[in-house]
Structure 1
C-alpha cells in the first residue's frame, strides 16, 4: 500500500519510482487520472532518458485535448514495494506523469477528503 496526498487542486498525487534500464530508481510524483484508461503516461523524453524500449506507436487516441499519437514503451516501476512491468504511453509535452484507472483493477483506492486520507493498495 502507498500513501498519497491531495494537492491544492484536490488532485490525487502518489509517489512512485520509475526504474531505468540500468536499474536506477527515480522517485517521481504521479497524478491518478480517472479519465485515463491505461496504466501509465509519461513524456517521450522522460521514457527515452530512462532507456525504456519503444515497442509500437498508437495512432489517434482520444485525449482531453483531442486526438493524439502516443508511443508505447515497456516500462518498469515500483508502486510501494511491488515492481511492475507495464505498458507505458509516451506523449510529447506531457506535464504530469499519469497513473490510469487500470491500477484500480488490482489495487484498492481510498480517497477520503474529509479525513485527508489517500491510499492505493
Structure 2
C-alpha cells in the first residue's frame, strides 16, 4: 500500500517510481485522475527520455478536458507498492502532470478519507 496526499485543490497525489529502459528508478508525483480510463499518461518528451518503447504507428484518440486529443502509445515500466508493472502508457504533448488512471482501481484499493487526511492506494 502506498500513501498519498491531498494537494491544496483536493487532488489525489501519489508518488510512484518510473523505471527507465536503463533500469534507473525515478520517483515522481502523479495525479490520480478519475476521468482518465487508462493506466498512465505522461508527456511524450518524458516518455522518450525514459527510453520507453514507442509502439510504432499506434495512437489513441481520447476525449480530454480540452477536447479530443491524439496520444502516442508507449510500453512503460512502473514500480507501485513494491511491485513492478509493464503497462501501456499514453504520451501526449504539453501534459502538465503525470496522470494515474482509474484502471489501477481494478487491481488496487483506493481509500480517500478527506476529514482524516488519509489517502492510500494498495
Q: Which residue of 2 aligns with 1:39?
A: 39
Shift in Å, 1:80 = 1.7
Aligned Cα root-mean-square deviation (Å): 0.8
Q: Which residue of 1 aligns with 2:28?
A: 28
Show structure 2 runs of 5+ residues with no match.
none
> Could you state the TM-score of these two structures normalised by the residue count of structure 2?
0.97
Shift in Å, 1:60 = 3.0
Contact 2:60–2:73 (CA under 8 A) maintained in structure 1: no
User: SS in structure 2 opposite 1:9?
Assistant: coil
Q: CA separation in 1, counterparts of 2:74 and 2:61? A: 17
Show structure 1 runs of 5+ residues with no match.
none
Contact 2:2–2:121 (CA under 8 A) maintained in structure 1: yes
Q: Which residue of 1 aligns with 2:82?
A: 81
User: SS in structure 2 opposite 1:102?
Assistant: helix
Q: CA separation in 1, counterparts of 2:43 and 2:16? A: 16
Q: Which residue of 1 aligns with 2:17?
A: 17
Q: CA separation in 2, counterparts of 1:2 and 1:59? A: 30
Count of residue pairs the alignment pairs up: 121
2:46 pairs with 1:62: no
Q: CA separation in 1, counterparts of 2:22 and 2:76? A: 12
2:114 pairs with 1:113: yes
Shift in Å, 1:59 = 4.2
